[in-house]
């Protein structure tokens, strides 16, 4: 609040540079003050990774389900109406800043809000996202995704944890055992992500850790995408018999979740071990219990 | 065991492919939620009993604490929102040490978090994002979250004592640059506050010691002047003076820069004010506290 008050005061506005930063000893995130876009991660060794977080939605396909080409997107089937998702505008401003955590916040007051956190001494970036209620006033079902945009040259290859069993290499429009011809260029390249999806090149590796099972891919070079929330208005005729249209108090359901982004060097064994531990730490988080201590003084405790 | 079996049973049902992928009908979804929530709530009984045994250490005494499960996924917790002091128990079920940020929903205010050894640890109050406050299902008055890093040993639990403080003046600390120095500075303040809390009033020695510690921090950093600058701008209204301020300025251009002689004069004046405060009322003594500004 004080920073905002200072920013409103024309006398001290020159204290605020055009570019914002949040940082700890492991990394520094840079945000363009004009566009509000995250643009860069600088690491202690002096290397930079271009980086951005953007939210999109795929409008859902609608059909009569008689043939595959006329299949609706539904609970079983992710079938977007086109290959280019619609971007949801987001712009970051500086949030809380203190001895434990620095935050960047984005909230378009509509369907997407995101908080980017960098904790002191912790070597990951945390995204606390809130998606929903998804607007269906235009009678179009929508499937929201987030994209982590980097300059990593992954050559269409990415890795997913294969339903929590092992990290498997995925390559766009390819299957390891047979020649494939995909009729669905987006959903045909989506894979289950239980805890982790990664891309890498010779210089850098980025791992996105999820707090729940999601669908994910790397459809565009250097970009990891994960599906966050869906609201659909038609059944896909695979058995459930109803549209995936969940509501709460008469509004579309709102979903809150977190991603942790871990940056490392692809050839670093210690980083590899650290990443594996971080995956489990995020999946099996400490249990927190809170109890009133009205009859227990600090000294007695 | 029968309570645990209820949770095992619910988890068994959740292995159905429709439950995993979300392809069940909506009324089935609601039923799954009902089953799982009831089972988890009942299973908490086991944790509650275990923690109470560990904490009270005497089976004959009634439980001191009653553990609640909070809906931290929507930044909501009835206990921490309503209580002036509460205990946070964190259990690490991994076989290695973890450093995990803990976020506890509270009302706006000033809070102190104590580690199991009684040390005041660094914490931060962060406002809850508006999008979370707008969640349609959320029924909570929490506006902020206390955030601190829990350093947890393998397969262990830790208790943290959180208390609401009525007055605190460590505001205006700009941590947007030079994080390392600022965090050291912040730790010093926390140590200082802890010392302060143990005394009925402040003596000048503590302030001078404190100045010395700041001095050391600043001397390590070549970006600031070797001699730190202190200014005193607190008001003196006789016996009931309200404030005694020490501002540590990092930029000599921005403020009053006393020389050694002036500094001695300030210390002398401060000593007189504090001596004066020793003889005043408890209320007056309570009003004596420093503002430490970076």
**Digit-coded pLDDT (tens) for A204-242:** 999 999 999 999 999 999 999 999 999 999 998 888 899
The structure tokens listed for A256 are: 């809150």
Contact criterion met (CB < 8 Å) for A241 and B25: yes
Q: Which of A225, A264, A271, A229 is nearest to A246 (CA)?
A: A229
Greater model confidence, A133 or B185: A133
* Structure confidence at residue B183 (pLDDT): 58
* Average pLDDT of the segment spanning A112-127: 94
Greater model confidence, A42 or B288: A42
The verdict on B77 touching A (C-beta cutoff 8 Å) is: yes
For chain B, positions 167-206, list CB contacts with chain A under 8 A: 171-173, 175-176, 179-180, 182-183, 186-187
Cβ atoms of A90 and A54 closer than 8 Å: yes
Name the most confidently modeled range: A275-289, B35-49, B163-177, B260-274.
A275-289
The CA distance from A153 to the nearest CA of chain B, in Å, is 32
Greater model confidence, B58 or A80: A80
**A130: closest chain B residue by CA:** B131
* Average pLDDT of the segment spanning A86-96: 91
Q: In this model, does residue B255 exceed pLDDT 90? A: no
* Structure confidence at residue B223 (pLDDT): 33
Asked which of A259-263, B7-11, B196-200 is least confident by mean pLDDT, the reply is: B196-200
Contact criterion met (CB < 8 Å) for B83 and A292: yes
Q: In this model, does residue B40 exceed pLDDT 80? A: yes
Residues with Cβ within 8 Å of A51's Cβ and at least 6 positions away in sequence, in order, are: A29, A38, A39, A40, A41, A148, A149, A150
Q: What is the mean pLDDT of chain B?
A: 70
Contact criterion met (CB < 8 Å) for A281 and B149: no
The verdict on B104 touching A (C-beta cutoff 8 Å) is: yes
The verdict on B99 touching A (C-beta cutoff 8 Å) is: yes
Contact criterion met (CB < 8 Å) for B149 and A249: no
With cut-offs at 50, 70 and 90, classify the pLDDT of residue B56: low
* Structure confidence at residue B54 (pLDDT): 65
Residues of A in contact with B79 (CB under 8 A): 290-292
Instruction: In whole angstroms, give the CA distance from residue B226 to residue B236.
Output: 30
pLDDT one-digit tens code per residue, A243-252: 999 998 888 9
A275: helix, coil or strand?
Answer: helix
Residues with Cβ within 8 Å of A228's Cβ and at least 6 positions away in sequence, in order, are: A55, A129, A131, A144, A145, A146, A214, A255, A257
Residues of A in contact with B18 (CB under 8 A): 240
**A258: closest chain B residue by CA:** B73
Of A99, A248, A291, the CB nearest to B86: A291
Cβ atoms of A213 and B17 closer than 8 Å: no
The verdict on A256 touching B (C-beta cutoff 8 Å) is: yes
Greater model confidence, B257 or A217: A217
Q: What is the mean pLDDT of chain A?
A: 89
Greater model confidence, A188 or B274: A188
Q: Render B194-213 in DSSP notation, one character per residue.
A: HHHHTSSS--HHHHHHHHHH
The CA distance from B226 to the nearest CA of chain A, in Å, is 24
Contact criterion met (CB < 8 Å) for A25 and B100: no
Residues of A in contact with B137 (CB under 8 A): 248-249, 254
The verdict on B210 touching A (C-beta cutoff 8 Å) is: no
pLDDT one-digit tens code per residue, B58-91: 545 555 677 777 888 899 999 999 999 999 999 9
pLDDT one-digit tens code per residue, B179-227: 455 555 556 656 655 555 544 334 444 554 555 444 444 333 333 333 3
Contact criterion met (CB < 8 Å) for A103 and B186: no
Contact criterion met (CB < 8 Å) for B129 and A25: no
Of A102, A285, A290, the CB nearest to B104: A290
Give the CB-side neighbour count of residue B185, counting CA atoms within 13 A: 26
Q: Render chain B in DSSP notation, one character per residue.
A: -HHHHHHHHHHHHTTSHHHHHT-S-HHHHHHHHHHHHHHHHHHHHHHHHHHHHHHH--TTSPPS--EE--BGGGTB-HHHHH-SEEEEEEEE-SSS-EEEEEEEEE-SSEEEEE-TTS-EE--EEEEPPHHHHT-TT------EEEEEEEEE-TTEEEEEEEEEES---------SS-HHHHHHHHHHHHHHHHHHHTSSS--HHHHHHHHHHHHHHHHT-TTS-SS-EEE------GGG---EEEEEES-GGGS----HHHHHHHHHHHHHHHHHHHTS-HHHHHT--EEEE-
* Residue written as token pair 């992954």: A154
Of B92, B131, B147, the CB nearest to A113: B131
Instruction: In whole angstroms, give the CA distance from residue B82 to residue B85.
Output: 9
Contact criterion met (CB < 8 Å) for B86 and A101: no
Instruction: In whole angstroms, give the CA distance from residue B134 to residue B139.
Output: 10
- The DSSP secondary-structure symbol of A187 reads G
* Structure confidence at residue B252 (pLDDT): 40
Backbone angles phi, psi at B211, to 5 degrees: -60, -40
């Amino acid at each position: 609040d004080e920073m905002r008050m200072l920013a409103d005061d024309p006398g001290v506005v020159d204290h605020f540079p055009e570019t914002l930063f949040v940082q700890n000893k492991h990394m520094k995130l840079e945000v363009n003050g004009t566009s509000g876009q995250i643009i860069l991660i600088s690491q202690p060794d002096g290397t930079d990774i271009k980086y951005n977080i953007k939210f999109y939605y795929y409008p859902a396909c609608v059909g009569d389900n008689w043939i595959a080409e006329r299949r609706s997107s539904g609970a079983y089937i992710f079938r977007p109406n086109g290959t280019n998702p619609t971007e949801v505008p987001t712009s970051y401003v500086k949030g809380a800043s203190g001895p434990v955590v620095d935050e960047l916040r984005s909230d378009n007051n509509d369907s997407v809000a995101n908080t980017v956190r960098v904790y002191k001494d912790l070597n990951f970036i945390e995204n606390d996202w809130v998606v929903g209620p998804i607007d269906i006033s235009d009678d179009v079902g929508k499937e929201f995704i987030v994209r982590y945009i980097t300059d990593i040259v992954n050559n269409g290859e990415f890795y997913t944890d294969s339903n929590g069993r092992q990290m498997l290499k995925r390559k766009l429009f390819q299957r390891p055992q047979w020649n494939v011809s995909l009729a669905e260029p987006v959903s045909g390249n989506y894979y289950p992500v239980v805890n982790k999806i990664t891309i890498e090149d010779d210089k850098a590796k980025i791992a996105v850790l999820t707090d729940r099972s999601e669908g994910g891919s790397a459809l565009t070079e250097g970009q990891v995408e994960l599906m966050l929330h869906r609201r659909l208005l038609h059944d896909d005729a695979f058995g459930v018999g109803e549209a995936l249209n969940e509501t709460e108090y008469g509004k579309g359901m709102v979903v809150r979740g977190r991603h942790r982004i871990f940056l490392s060097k692809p050839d670093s064994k210690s980083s590899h071990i650290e990443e594996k531990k971080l995956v489990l730490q995020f999946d099996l988080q400490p249990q927190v219990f809170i109890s009133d201590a009205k009859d227990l003084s600090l000294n007695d405790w | 065991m029968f309570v645990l079996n209820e949770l095992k049973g619910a988890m068994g049902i959740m292995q159905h492919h429709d439950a995993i992928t979300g392809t069940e009908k909506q009324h089935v979804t609601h039923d799954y939620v009902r089953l799982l929530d009831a089972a988890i709530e009942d299973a908490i009984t086991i944790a509650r009993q275990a923690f109470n045994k560990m904490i009270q250490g005497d089976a004959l005494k009634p439980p001191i604490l009653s553990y609640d499960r909070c809906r931290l996924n929507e930044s909501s917790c009835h206990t921490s929102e309503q209580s002036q002091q509460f205990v946070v128990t964190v259990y690490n079920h991994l076989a290695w040490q973890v450093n995990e940020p803990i976020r506890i929903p509270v009302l706006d205010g000033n809070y102190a978090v104590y580690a199991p050894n009684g040390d005041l640890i660094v914490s931060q109050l962060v406002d809850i994002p508006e999008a979370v406050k707008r969640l349609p299902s959320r029924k909570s008055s929490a506006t902020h979250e206390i955030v601190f890093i829990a350093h947890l040993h393998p397969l262990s639990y830790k208790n943290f004592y959180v208390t609401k403080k009525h007055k605190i003046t460590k505001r205006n600390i700009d941590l947007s640059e030079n994080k390392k120095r600022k965090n050291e500075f912040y730790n010093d303040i926390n140590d200082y506050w802890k010392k302060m809390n143990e005394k009925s009033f402040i003596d000048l020695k503590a302030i001078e010691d404190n100045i010395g510690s700041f001095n050391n921090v600043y001397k390590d950093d070549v970006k600031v002047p070797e001699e730190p600058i202190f200014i005193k701008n607190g008001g003196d209204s006789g016996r009931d003076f309200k404030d005694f301020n020490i501002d540590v300025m990092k930029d000599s251009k921005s403020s009053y820069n006393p020389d050694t002689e002036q500094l001695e004069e300030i210390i002398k004046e401060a000593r007189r004010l504090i001596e004066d405060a020793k003889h005043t009322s408890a209320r007056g003594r309570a009003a004596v506290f420093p503002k430490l500004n970076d």
